Structure 1
Amino acid sequence: MSYKLLFIVFCSKKSIICKTVVLWYIYLNYHEHVIRSS
C-alpha cells in the first residue's frame, strides 16, 4: 500500500496534526510493547 505517500502528503499539509499523530502512534506502540513484555 501507499501509506508512506499518504503520510508524507498529510504531513506536508498539516504538520502539527502530523506530529501529534506520530507521537501518539509511537506512544501506543511503546505502551503495547510494555504490556506484552510484562
Structure 2
Amino acid sequence: MILSLKLCCKFLADKHLCAEKKQVRIYHILREAFISEVMHH
C-alpha cells in the first residue's frame, strides 16, 4: 500500500501532481475500512 503510493508519487513528481496530504487521507480511509472489515469478522 505504502509502496504503491511512493511509486505513484515518483511517477507524478515531474508534473507536480503528487499531493501528499491527499495520499495520506486515502491511506487512512483504506486503513479504517480494512480495520472495520476485520472487526466485523
Do they superpose with TM above 0.5? yes
Is there any run of 5+ residues in structure 1 with no aligned partner, and where?
none
Please identify runs of 4+ aligned residues in structure 1 that moved more than 4 A: none
Is there any run of 5+ residues in structure 2 with no aligned partner, and where?
none
Tell me the C-alpha RMSD between the 2 structures. Answer: 2.1
TM-score (norm 2): 0.61
Percent of pairs identical after alignment? Answer: 3
- Which structure ranks higher in relative contact order (CA pairs < 8 Å, sequence separation ≥ 6)? 2
